[in-house]
Amino acid sequence: MAERSASGSPGGSGAAAIGFHPLYRQVRERLLRRLATGAWPAGGMLPSEPALAAELGVSQGTVRKALDALTAENLLVRRQGRGTFVARHDERRILFQFFRLVADRGERQFPESEVLVVVRAAANRRERARLMLSAPARVVRIRRLRTLGGRACIAESISLPEALFPGLWQRKLPNNLYGLYAEEYGISIARASERLKAVMLPRGDAARLGAAPGTPALEIDRLAIAIDGRRVEWRLSRCLTAHLHYASELL
C-alpha cells in the first residue's frame, strides 16, 4: 500500500516530496503544532513511533525522521529504552542552547539572578517593534541583576507581552524564566535571535554592577521565539567581560 502524506494524499516514501516539502517535514510540522498548543506538556512522553505512524498514515521511518529533526532542534529528548519526551527548559539545556557567556578559565556556569523590579506598562515604541505588538498592547517589564561565581556581571532588562503572561507581574520569579514560561504558561522557547554590540555602561546599569559609568560592556539584544513562531520575549543584557567571554560554535 502506498504511503500517504501527513495530509492524507498519496505519497511515495518517507523521502517523498509533496509541494516541494519532504514527507517527514510535513509530519514534523504537524508534530510541531501539537507541541505549540501544549498537547504534549514539557517533560511529557510522546506516543510510540508505531502509534504516531498509524495515526498520521505514514511509515514508522518517516515518523522517526521527523522526531529526529525535532530532537536536533532541542525540542524533544530521545531516551534509549524509554521513549521520546518533550524537552524541559532545565538549566542544563538553557546553559548550552541559550546562555553563551563563559568564564575565561573555561568552565560553564548557570548564572544566579536577583529580580530588582517587575512592572506593567504600555508598550513603548521599541517594545512594539521588537515584539511585533500593536499600539494598545501592554508589557511586563522585568529588571534583574545576574551573577556568575558570586560576581555581578549582567544587568538585564526583559519585556514580555502581558497578554501572553497574565499575572506574571504578581509572581515571585525564579532564576529559570524559560522553565516558568513553559510549565506555567504553555509557551516553550524554541530558538532565539541575538545581536551583539560593544557599548559603554549607562549610569543606572553601572551602579547595579558596581562599575564606573562609561565602562565598556557587551550588549546582547535577544528575541526569544516560541515554537509557533511568536516573539515572546525581548531581553537586553549588558555584560561586564573582564573575566568572561561570549562563546559560540559555528557548525
pLDDT in tens, 103-132: 888 777 888 999 999 999 999 999 999 999
Residue 249 scores a pLDDT above 70? yes
Does residue 95 share a domain with residue 81?
A: no
Domain that holds residue 76: 17-86
Q: Which of the listed residues 86, 112, 146 is the one where a domain comes to its end?
A: 86
Under the banding of pLDDT at 50, 70 and 90, the label for residue 20 is low
Stated pTM of the model: 0.74
Q: Which of the listed residues 45, 66, 86 is the one where a domain comes to its end?
A: 86
State the pLDDT at residue 113.
93
Residue type, 201: L
CATH number, position 210: 3.40.1410.10
> CA-CA distances (angstroms) from residue 15 to 33, 62, 146?
21, 8, 46
Residue 1 falls within a domain, yes or no? no
State the pLDDT at residue 102.
86
Total tally of structural domains belonging to the chain: 2
Under the banding of pLDDT at 50, 70 and 90, the label for residue 70 is confident
Residue 150 falls within a domain, yes or no? yes
Q: Which position has the grid cell 556556569? A: 109
> CA-CA distances (angstroms) from residue 238 to 38, 79, 96, 222?
33, 37, 20, 11
Does residue 125 share a domain with residue 25?
A: no
DSSP output for 224-238:
EEETTS-EEEEEEEE
Residue 10 falls within a domain, yes or no? no
Residue 7 falls within a domain, yes or no? no
Mean pLDDT across the stretch 71-87? Answer: 84
Residue 97 scores a pLDDT above 80? no
